Amino acid sequence: ILRFYSTESIKTKRRILLQDRSKLPVHKYSLAKPGTSRVYVWGLAETGALGHEVSLKKHKKAYTAYVSYPTRLSFAEKCDILDVACGYGFSLFVTKKTNEDNISVYGTGLNTDGQIGFHKHLGATNRPIHLLIYPAPIVLPKLKQNEEIRIVKVAAGRAHSLFLSDVGCVYATGNNSFGQCGRSVIADENYLLSNYFKRIKNLSNNVDDKIVGIHCGQDHSIFQLESGKLYACGLGADGQTGLGHYNSTSTPTELTGDIKNEKIIKVTGTCDTMLALNDKGEVFGFGNTEYGQLLNNNETSQIHTPIHLPQTSKFGKIIDIAAGGSYCLMLNECGEVFIWGYGILGLGPNVEQYSEPKQIPATLFGRNDFHPNTFVKSIYCGISHAGAINNLGDAYMWGRNKFGCLGFGDTKNQYFPLKTAVNASVMKLCCGVDHTLALCKPFI
């Protein structure tokens, strides 16, 4: 189900880019105040997703295959970063707008489907760029010439992207093979050349019920309204759209089931298993449950309608959730982390499957005699690796360490949470399929 990219083609494209750098457009970034934000990146670098313009290793190779340790992104030193997102081989950044710069969204990495906008080589050919090695501005379409667009959130799927503005308008671009961009599917469409952004707004009959949250699965999109309603579109083969069927849909449609009349405050899922959290701290789920991710005793491998997961209630009020490719995480109000499903669960090398939520010991997240009040405040999932941030601003990672995406300086799998050496206070982690971003603030 995963889409893998050719390493050889990436190397070739990167060499071409390095040879033709004089023909690439030059972008001017707005300057941020010293110490406002930092971004650390690590994992696969060949796709350009890390945004490093030059090689980090001092050897003769023209590129760095991967970076296995957290590295400061120089682009983030030039502007104030507000949000980040990881797609499959690409990254998105939201910057604070200034009077001098009207651009607030940047992207880097794979652009095979126009998921980071339309970019072209300078010169006579004007060929589209399939891969960018450092962040470039994404120009969003305006209805009026003087319209001001302020993006506040971004989300990235396998090959499509969503951008949410402060007025509740979503801009969707990239691959639309299953209607994940909220528009009709066009046969044989060239997404890279089309440069099409779909504007999505006013999904509810109530015009005041604006979109406040966006989320991308692999090939589907979910929109969260201020009222707590959810709307979805895209691939539904595993029930991941939660619309009561397994078909694809190109029109954002409201989810019902057990979340009907519930105020959903978060929805998450990196692949095709989706979790939703309401304002009372109750957990709901839909989509793939091949490994018991939805706690249904393996009665079925797919659930197309949101269901309540009552087994999660005995662990107290849940304040955060995350879902990977074959496992799920939740965090209660006491700062305790629970995990279930299949994979490297953070419970040691001998535990690869749990059919019900199991707590990961708090000591693995920094609680000890010197810091007895340490607790986890947020959790994150990639497809096969996971992370958590405690109240001290420390990031802990575990799971499959493909291309060094855990940030430990090697590529060995990590079977229990281990602190990642990020030289800043981590505010948000974003786990891609093989790279990781950390949005941070400096200690001083």
User: Which residues is 230 bridged to in the sheet?
Assistant: 224
391 Cβ neighbours under 8 A, 6+ residues apart = 335, 373, 374, 375, 376, 377
At 77 the three-state DSSP class reads: helix
pTM of the model: 0.90
Boundaries of domain holding 293: 28-441
DSSP 3-61: PP--HHHHHHHHHHHHHTGGGSPP-PPPPPPTTS-EEEEEEE-TTSTT--SS-SS-SS-
Say if residue 30's pLDDT is above 60. no
CB burial string 318-338: b at 16+ within 10 A, e below? bbbbbbbbbbbbbbbeebbbb
Q: If we measure between CA atoms, which residue out of 430, 386, 438, 342 comes closest to residue 157?
A: 430
Residue 352: its pLDDT value, please? 95
Residue type, 270: T
C-beta of residue 278 within 8 angstroms of C-beta of residue 228: yes
Q: If we measure between CA atoms, which residue out of 203, 212, 286 comes closest to residue 251?
A: 203
6 in a domain, yes or no?
no
Residue 63: its pLDDT value, please? 53
Of 48-62, 76-90, 135-149, which has the strongest mean pLDDT? 76-90
Average pLDDT over residues 77-93: 95
Percent of the chain with pLDDT over 90: 79
CA distances from 270 to 4, 24, 52, 152, 235 (A): 16, 33, 25, 20, 13
Spatial separation of the C-alpha atoms in residues 180 and 215, rounded to whole Å:
11
- CATH code where residue 90 lies: 2.130.10.30
401 in a domain, yes or no?
yes
Say if residue 67's pLDDT is above 50. yes
Element (H, E) at 192: helix 191-194
pLDDT band per the 50, 70, 90 thresholds, residue 26? low
At 203 the three-state DSSP class reads: coil
Residue 59: its pLDDT value, please? 41
The residue with tokens 């994404």 is 138
CA distances from 413 to 2, 111, 308, 310, 344 (A): 20, 29, 33, 32, 8
Q: Average pLDDT of the chain?
A: 90
DSSP state of 297: T
426 in a domain, yes or no?
yes
Residue 387: its pLDDT value, please? 99
Average pLDDT over residues 421-440: 97
Residue 127: its pLDDT value, please? 82
Element (H, E) at 68: strand 66-72
Average pLDDT over residues 312-325: 98
Say if residue 270's pLDDT is above 50. yes
CB-side exposure of 405: number of CA atoms within 13 Å? 28
19 in a domain, yes or no?
no
Interior CA angle at 84 toward 81 and 90, to 5°? 125
Backbone angles phi, psi at 168, to 5 degrees: 85, 20
419 in a domain, yes or no?
yes
Residue 17: its pLDDT value, please? 47
Q: What is the pLDDT of residues 139-187, one digit of tens each?
A: 999 888 888 899 999 999 999 999 999 999 999 999 999 999 999 999 9
Average pLDDT over residues 406-414: 97
Residue 146: its pLDDT value, please? 82
Our measurement of the distance from residue 388's CA atom to the centroid of its chain's CA atoms, rounded to an integer in Å, reads: 15
Percent of the chain with pLDDT over 70: 88
Q: What is the pLDDT of residues 344-403, one digit of tens each?
A: 999 999 999 999 999 999 999 999 999 999 999 999 999 999 999 999 999 999 999 999
146 in a domain, yes or no?
yes
Q: Which of the two residues, 181 and 31, has the higher pLDDT score?
A: 181
Structural domains in the chain (count)? 1
Say if residue 190's pLDDT is above 70. yes
213 in a domain, yes or no?
yes
7 in a domain, yes or no?
no
| Among 8-22, 28-42, 47-61, 103-117, the least confident range | 8-22
Please give the torsion angle defined by the CA atoms of residues 355, 361, 362 and 366, in that order, rounded to the nearest 10 degrees. -120
